[in-house]
Amino acid sequence: MRHLLTAALLASASLGSSAAPQNSQDQAQFQGEYDLQDGSRLSINHRHRQLYARLDDGATASLIANGPTSFTSSNGQLHIEFIQSANGSVSGVRLTRQEILAERKKSY
């Protein structure tokens, strides 16, 4: 019974936070440059009602909204959560990188 209640609470919490930014102006608030703790720089750009992320001088990837302040890159390698202060302004970002491992194919 306790597990069902916990699952129901988690489901209701995730439903409440899954709304994507409503319009282009909401998305534009995330645009800017963010200096990460590891010394790299995250650039967020807003073009044509779409957010794009670029890490250092790497490739640019479009962002897919997971919630009002949470996004995943179109290639699935970055998860970005914008941190907002009490007044709603963006005060930081939390970035998680998906490490992609590949094995070398045998040469014949």
pLDDT digits 0-9 by tens, 68-94:
999 999 989 999 999 999 998 999 999
pLDDT at 61: 94
Q: How many CB atoms lie within 10 A of CB 47?
A: 11
Q: Would residue 28 be called left, alpha or beta, if left means φ above 0 and alpha means ψ between -120 and 50 degrees?
A: alpha
Residue 16: how many other CB atoms lie within 10 Å: 10
d(CA 67, CA 79): 12
Q: Which residue has the tokens 């720089």?
A: 41
Give per-residue pLDDT as tens, 17-71.
Answer: 445 665 777 888 999 999 999 999 999 999 988 999 999 988 899 999 999 999 9
Amino acid at 83: I
Per-residue pLDDT band for 98 (boundaries 50, 70, 90) equals confident
11 has a pLDDT exceeding 60:
no
